[in-house]
Amino acid sequence: MTEPNVVGVVGSLRDQSYTRVGIERALGAAEGMGATTELLDLREFDLPVFDADHREAGDAVAFSNRIHAADSILLGTPVYHGSYSGVLKNALDYCGFDEFEHKTVGLLAVAGGGFPITALEHLRSVCRALNCWVIPHQAAIPKARNHVADGQITDPDIEKRIARLGEEAVQYANIEPDPACFESTENVGADD
Ligand SMILES: Cc1cc2nc3c(=O)[nH]c(=O)nc-3n(C[C@H](O)[C@H](O)[C@H](O)COP(=O)(O)O)c2cc1C
Protein backbone atom coordinates (compact mmCIF):
# COMPACT_ATOMS: atom_id res chain seq x y z
CA MET A 1 0.00 0.00 0.00
CA THR A 2 1.36 3.44 -0.88
CA GLU A 3 1.41 6.18 1.73
CA PRO A 4 -2.14 7.48 2.17
CA ASN A 5 -2.68 11.13 1.37
CA VAL A 6 -4.65 12.84 4.15
CA VAL A 7 -6.05 16.29 3.49
CA GLY A 8 -7.47 18.57 6.19
CA VAL A 9 -9.96 21.37 5.52
CA VAL A 10 -10.39 24.20 8.01
CA GLY A 11 -13.87 25.75 7.96
CA SER A 12 -12.85 28.96 9.72
CA LEU A 13 -11.17 31.96 8.15
CA ARG A 14 -10.17 33.47 11.51
CA ASP A 15 -6.45 34.19 11.89
CA GLN A 16 -6.32 32.67 15.38
CA SER A 17 -8.70 29.82 14.51
CA TYR A 18 -8.86 27.03 17.09
CA THR A 19 -10.20 24.77 14.35
CA ARG A 20 -6.95 25.23 12.44
CA VAL A 21 -5.03 24.19 15.57
CA GLY A 22 -7.15 21.05 15.84
CA ILE A 23 -6.79 20.07 12.20
CA GLU A 24 -3.03 20.69 12.35
CA ARG A 25 -2.82 18.33 15.33
CA ALA A 26 -4.83 15.62 13.55
CA LEU A 27 -2.68 15.95 10.43
CA GLY A 28 0.45 15.71 12.57
CA ALA A 29 -0.84 12.43 13.98
CA ALA A 30 -1.60 11.19 10.47
CA GLU A 31 1.93 12.07 9.42
CA GLY A 32 3.20 10.11 12.41
CA MET A 33 1.41 7.08 10.93
CA GLY A 34 3.26 7.49 7.62
CA ALA A 35 0.77 9.57 5.64
CA THR A 36 1.51 12.51 3.42
CA THR A 37 -0.65 15.40 4.57
CA GLU A 38 -1.87 18.74 3.37
CA LEU A 39 -3.86 21.44 5.12
CA LEU A 40 -6.30 23.22 2.84
CA ASP A 41 -6.69 26.68 4.34
CA LEU A 42 -9.81 28.23 2.84
CA ARG A 43 -8.27 31.71 3.26
CA GLU A 44 -5.92 30.76 0.44
CA PHE A 45 -8.62 29.80 -2.08
CA ASP A 46 -10.82 32.22 -3.96
CA LEU A 47 -14.19 30.45 -3.61
CA PRO A 48 -17.06 32.89 -4.31
CA VAL A 49 -20.50 32.09 -2.94
CA PHE A 50 -21.39 28.94 -4.87
CA ASP A 51 -23.53 29.45 -7.97
CA ALA A 52 -24.41 26.20 -9.78
CA ASP A 53 -24.17 28.07 -13.09
CA HIS A 54 -20.51 28.87 -12.35
CA ARG A 55 -19.06 25.72 -10.82
CA GLU A 56 -15.50 26.48 -11.85
CA ALA A 57 -15.43 29.99 -10.42
CA GLY A 58 -12.24 31.31 -8.86
CA ASP A 59 -10.03 28.57 -7.44
CA ALA A 60 -12.81 25.95 -7.45
CA VAL A 61 -10.96 23.53 -9.71
CA ALA A 62 -7.71 23.83 -7.75
CA PHE A 63 -9.63 23.18 -4.53
CA SER A 64 -11.65 20.22 -5.79
CA ASN A 65 -8.53 18.68 -7.36
CA ARG A 66 -6.83 18.68 -3.95
CA ILE A 67 -9.83 16.93 -2.40
CA HIS A 68 -9.92 14.49 -5.30
CA ALA A 69 -6.27 13.57 -4.67
CA ALA A 70 -6.95 12.68 -1.01
CA ASP A 71 -7.44 9.17 0.31
CA SER A 72 -8.82 10.51 3.58
CA ILE A 73 -10.26 13.92 4.33
CA LEU A 74 -10.43 15.60 7.73
CA LEU A 75 -13.16 18.23 7.94
CA GLY A 76 -12.80 20.77 10.73
CA THR A 77 -15.51 23.27 11.50
CA PRO A 78 -16.31 25.93 14.05
CA VAL A 79 -19.79 25.57 15.51
CA TYR A 80 -21.93 28.39 14.14
CA HIS A 81 -25.51 28.56 15.41
CA GLY A 82 -25.48 24.89 16.34
CA SER A 83 -24.15 23.71 12.99
CA TYR A 84 -21.06 23.77 10.80
CA SER A 85 -19.83 26.93 9.10
CA GLY A 86 -21.10 28.45 5.88
CA VAL A 87 -17.50 28.77 4.72
CA LEU A 88 -17.11 25.01 4.86
CA LYS A 89 -20.49 24.36 3.21
CA ASN A 90 -19.58 26.72 0.39
CA ALA A 91 -16.32 24.85 -0.21
CA LEU A 92 -18.09 21.47 -0.10
CA ASP A 93 -20.66 22.63 -2.65
CA TYR A 94 -17.85 23.03 -5.19
CA CYS A 95 -17.23 19.28 -4.77
CA GLY A 96 -19.40 16.22 -5.28
CA PHE A 97 -19.30 12.46 -5.71
CA ASP A 98 -16.19 12.69 -7.91
CA GLU A 99 -14.20 14.07 -5.00
CA PHE A 100 -15.87 12.41 -2.02
CA GLU A 101 -17.46 9.08 -2.93
CA HIS A 102 -15.84 6.12 -1.09
CA LYS A 103 -13.41 8.44 0.68
CA THR A 104 -12.72 8.11 4.37
CA VAL A 105 -13.71 11.26 6.26
CA GLY A 106 -12.94 12.30 9.83
CA LEU A 107 -14.85 15.05 11.62
CA LEU A 108 -13.77 17.73 14.09
CA ALA A 109 -15.95 20.50 15.56
CA VAL A 110 -14.79 23.43 17.67
CA ALA A 111 -17.26 25.30 19.85
CA GLY A 112 -17.26 28.42 21.97
CA GLY A 113 -19.80 26.64 24.19
CA GLY A 114 -20.03 23.12 25.48
CA PHE A 115 -22.14 21.36 22.84
CA PRO A 116 -20.40 20.74 19.52
CA ILE A 117 -22.39 17.58 18.74
CA THR A 118 -25.01 18.93 16.34
CA ALA A 119 -22.35 20.35 14.01
CA LEU A 120 -20.72 16.91 13.88
CA GLU A 121 -24.06 15.24 13.18
CA HIS A 122 -24.91 17.69 10.42
CA LEU A 123 -21.53 17.18 8.76
CA ARG A 124 -21.87 13.42 9.09
CA SER A 125 -25.19 13.61 7.20
CA VAL A 126 -23.61 15.66 4.43
CA CYS A 127 -20.78 13.16 4.07
CA ARG A 128 -23.21 10.25 3.97
CA ALA A 129 -25.11 12.01 1.18
CA LEU A 130 -21.80 12.03 -0.72
CA ASN A 131 -21.33 8.32 0.04
CA CYS A 132 -18.23 8.81 2.15
CA TRP A 133 -17.11 6.38 4.81
CA VAL A 134 -17.28 8.56 7.92
CA ILE A 135 -15.04 7.45 10.78
CA PRO A 136 -17.27 6.53 13.77
CA HIS A 137 -14.84 8.19 16.18
CA GLN A 138 -15.21 11.97 16.10
CA ALA A 139 -13.45 14.78 17.91
CA ALA A 140 -14.32 18.19 19.27
CA ILE A 141 -12.91 21.08 21.22
CA PRO A 142 -15.78 22.40 23.38
CA LYS A 143 -15.26 25.71 25.23
CA ALA A 144 -12.34 26.22 22.90
CA ARG A 145 -10.80 29.28 24.50
CA ASN A 146 -10.24 27.24 27.69
CA HIS A 147 -8.53 24.39 25.89
CA VAL A 148 -6.27 26.01 23.31
CA ALA A 149 -3.38 28.35 24.05
CA ASP A 150 -0.45 29.53 21.96
CA GLY A 151 -1.44 27.26 19.10
CA GLN A 152 -1.54 24.13 21.27
CA ILE A 153 -4.36 22.01 22.68
CA THR A 154 -3.91 22.15 26.42
CA ASP A 155 -6.41 19.50 27.49
CA PRO A 156 -4.73 16.08 27.19
CA ASP A 157 -7.98 14.14 26.70
CA ILE A 158 -9.12 16.40 23.88
CA GLU A 159 -5.67 16.30 22.33
CA LYS A 160 -5.70 12.51 22.46
CA ARG A 161 -9.10 12.27 20.76
CA ILE A 162 -7.96 14.59 17.98
CA ALA A 163 -4.72 12.68 17.46
CA ARG A 164 -6.75 9.48 17.31
CA LEU A 165 -8.87 10.99 14.56
CA GLY A 166 -5.74 11.63 12.49
CA GLU A 167 -4.45 8.13 13.14
CA GLU A 168 -7.74 6.55 12.12
CA ALA A 169 -7.77 8.62 8.93
CA VAL A 170 -4.65 6.67 8.00
CA GLN A 171 -5.74 3.33 9.44
CA TYR A 172 -9.00 3.38 7.46
CA ALA A 173 -7.78 5.25 4.36
CA ASN A 174 -8.22 2.20 2.17
CA ILE A 175 -11.19 0.60 3.84
CA GLU A 176 -13.45 -1.41 1.54
CA PRO A 177 -16.37 0.91 0.73
CA ASP A 178 -19.81 0.10 2.11
CA PRO A 179 -22.66 -0.37 -0.35
CA ALA A 180 -24.16 2.99 -1.31
CA CYS A 181 -26.26 4.35 1.54
CA PHE A 182 -29.87 5.31 0.95
CA GLU A 183 -29.27 9.02 1.37
CA SER A 184 -26.52 8.97 -1.26
CA THR A 185 -28.65 7.14 -3.81
CA GLU A 186 -31.30 9.82 -3.33
CA ASN A 187 -28.73 12.62 -3.72
CA VAL A 188 -29.33 13.55 -7.34
CA GLY A 189 -26.55 16.09 -6.95
CA ALA A 190 -25.91 18.96 -9.26
CA ASP A 191 -26.95 17.13 -12.42
CA ASP A 192 -30.70 17.30 -11.86
C1 LIG B 1 -21.62 33.39 13.80
C2 LIG B 1 -21.17 32.59 14.99
C3 LIG B 1 -22.03 31.68 15.55
C4 LIG B 1 -21.61 30.91 16.64
N5 LIG B 1 -22.47 29.99 17.15
C6 LIG B 1 -22.05 29.18 18.16
C7 LIG B 1 -22.91 28.16 18.66
O8 LIG B 1 -24.04 27.98 18.23
N9 LIG B 1 -22.45 27.37 19.65
C10 LIG B 1 -21.20 27.53 20.18
O11 LIG B 1 -20.82 26.78 21.08
N12 LIG B 1 -20.36 28.48 19.72
C13 LIG B 1 -20.75 29.31 18.71
N14 LIG B 1 -19.91 30.25 18.21
C15 LIG B 1 -18.54 30.36 18.74
C16 LIG B 1 -17.54 29.57 17.88
O17 LIG B 1 -17.90 28.21 17.78
C18 LIG B 1 -16.15 29.66 18.51
O19 LIG B 1 -15.75 31.02 18.57
C20 LIG B 1 -15.10 28.83 17.76
O21 LIG B 1 -13.90 28.90 18.44
C22 LIG B 1 -14.84 29.38 16.39
O23 LIG B 1 -13.90 28.55 15.73
P24 LIG B 1 -12.52 29.13 15.25
O25 LIG B 1 -11.72 29.47 16.49
O26 LIG B 1 -11.89 28.03 14.47
O27 LIG B 1 -12.78 30.34 14.41
C28 LIG B 1 -20.30 31.06 17.15
C29 LIG B 1 -19.44 31.99 16.57
C30 LIG B 1 -19.86 32.74 15.50
C31 LIG B 1 -18.89 33.73 14.87
* Rounded distance from Cα 185 to ligand 1 centre (Å): 33
Q: How confident is the model at residue 9, as a pLDDT?
A: 98
Note the CATH architecture for domain 5-183: 3-Layer(aba) Sandwich (3.40)
Dist. CA 188–CA 130, nearest whole Å:
10
Position 7 confidence tier, pLDDT thresholds 50, 70, 90: very high
CB atoms within 10 A of CB 129: 18
Residue nearest to atom 1 of ligand 1 (CA): 80
Q: What's the 15 CA to ligand 1 centre distance in angstroms?
A: 14
In this prediction, residue 135 carries a pLDDT of 98
Annotated domain spans of the chain: 5-183
- Would you place residue 182 in the very low, low, confident or very high pLDDT band (cuts 50, 70, 90)? confident
User: What is the C-alpha to C-alpha distance for residues 26 and 108, in angstroms, rounded to an integer?
Assistant: 9
Greater confidence (187 vs 9) lies with: 9
Question: What's the pLDDT tens digit per position in 47-106?
Answer: 999 999 999 999 999 999 999 999 999 999 999 999 999 999 999 999 999 999 999 999
pLDDT tens string 108-142: 999 999 999 999 999 999 999 999 999 999 999 99
Give the count of alpha carbons within 13 A of 64, CB side only.
19
Which atom of ligand 1 has the smallest separation from the CA of 78? 23
User: What is the chain's mean pLDDT, rounded?
Assistant: 96
What share of the chain in percent tops pLDDT 70? 98
List Cα–Cα distances, 120 to 34, 53, 57, 181, in angstroms.
27, 29, 28, 18
Nearest by Cα to 105 from 159, 55, 177, 41 = 177
Cα(41) to ligand 1 centroid in Å equals 18
**Ligand 1, CB cutoff 6 Å, lining residues:** 12, 14, 17-19, 78-82, 110-113, 144
Query: Which of 9, 17, 43, 80 for mutating ligand 1's site (highest number of atoms within 8 Å of CB)?
Result: 80
